[in-house]
Structure 1
Amino acid sequence: MPRRKPQRRRPQRRKDVLHGPGGERGDAFRCTSCRLDVPLTAPGTAHRNHCPHCLTSLHVDGRIPGDRRETCRGRMAAVGVTARHDGEWLLIHHCLACGKLSANRIAGDDNALALLRLAMRPLAAYPPFNAQLAL
């Protein structure tokens, strides 16, 4: 069986992200779930897209992370975690408004207990998914 070539990791590029309603820059945002003031700088990622305490996000990014082109603006609940081939963890978010799923990189200051709870919980235990399993 042929072996795969090891893939070189491309460094994440810095993105010019505008967080305010008028497109202004800020140094923090307020979580819509736990109301914690969250700094925009995050260890391990070029831009923060979720609360490090409760792992909740907003549906603001379109196809490209950091582009802020999504019009939904719904709350995104963390429903699970997955890992890349290199061992990096990703959060799986589910939009409570439109139902879209997305994967987001974890940051170095994310709540480790909340991440482990998500990793240990089966996806079928999450309410939007177990209703479909009953059919």
Structure 2
Amino acid sequence: MDSFVCKQCGRIVTPDGAGSRHRNHCPQCLHSLHVDERPGDRASVCESVMEPISVWVRKDGEWAIVHRCKRCGHLSSNRIAADDNPLKLMSIAVKPLAEPPFPLEELGPDACGGQASEGGDAR
């Protein structure tokens, strides 16, 4: 595999440290390029930047990054590499908890299984 320059952050990305022969995203910002329609086919004409939007854990316990193309919305999944930025990975993993898709304050005290007393404490 050859080195490349990340189109998102400008970092020079080398195959060293990836733990794999295949490097398809930047280890710093985790962005990729939309070059495949199916893994490895290099058939996409889009070639836009793909942003990391989520992570998931495969059956074997291996983590993978979900990327979404900024231009066409195509989704793909790529296994993480040994030298991927762990802080960025964790940031993506906890994003649904830190920024839920609904307002938590509208759930009220009963949503957590507790009952609010007159003082406002759930017991």
Q: Do they superpose with TM above 0.5?
A: yes
**Smaller-chain TM-score range?**
0.7 to 0.9
Partner of 2:87: 113
Paired position in structure 2 for 1:122: 96
Task: Give the secondary-structure state (helix, strand or coil) at the position aligned to 2:56.
Answer: strand
Q: SS at the partner of 1:122?
A: helix
Over 3 Å counting, the alpha-carbon distance change for 1:116 and 1:39 in structure 2 is same
Local SS of the residue matching 1:121: helix
Look up the equivalent residue of 1:112 and give its one-letter code: P
Q: Over residues 7-57 of structure 1, what are the superposed CA-to-partner deviations in whole Å (9 max), with x where a residue is unaligned?
A: xxxxxxxxxxxxxxxxxxx62000001100001355333311000000000
Counterpart residue number, 1:79 = 53
Could you report, residue by residue, the CA deviation over 1:91-112 in whole angstroms, capped at 9, with x for unpaired residues? 0001010011111110000000
When Rg is computed on C-alpha atoms for both structures, the one with the higher figure is 2
Which amino acid in 2 is paired with 1:105? R
TM-score by length of 1: 0.68
Give ranges in structure 1 of 5+ residues lacking alignment: 1-25, 131-135
What's 2:41 paired with?
Answer: 67
Question: In structure 2, what is the Cα distance between the partners aligned to 1:100 and 1:45?
Answer: 24
The aligned residue for residue 100 of structure 1 is 74
CA contact (8 A) 2:15 2:21 kept: no
1-side partners of 2:19 and 2:36: how far apart?
A: 19
Tell me the number of residue pairs that the alignment of Structure 1 and Structure 2 aligns.
Answer: 101
What's the TM-score, normalizing by structure 2? 0.74
Asked if 1:90 is matched to 2:96, the reply is: no
SS at 1:85's partner residue?
coil
| Alignment partner, residue 18 of structure 1 | none
Structure 1 vs Structure 2: percent identity of aligned residues? Answer: 50
Corresponding letter in the other structure for 1:31: C
CA distance in 2 between partners of 1:55 and 1:112 (Å): 10
CA shift at 1:68, angstroms? 1.5
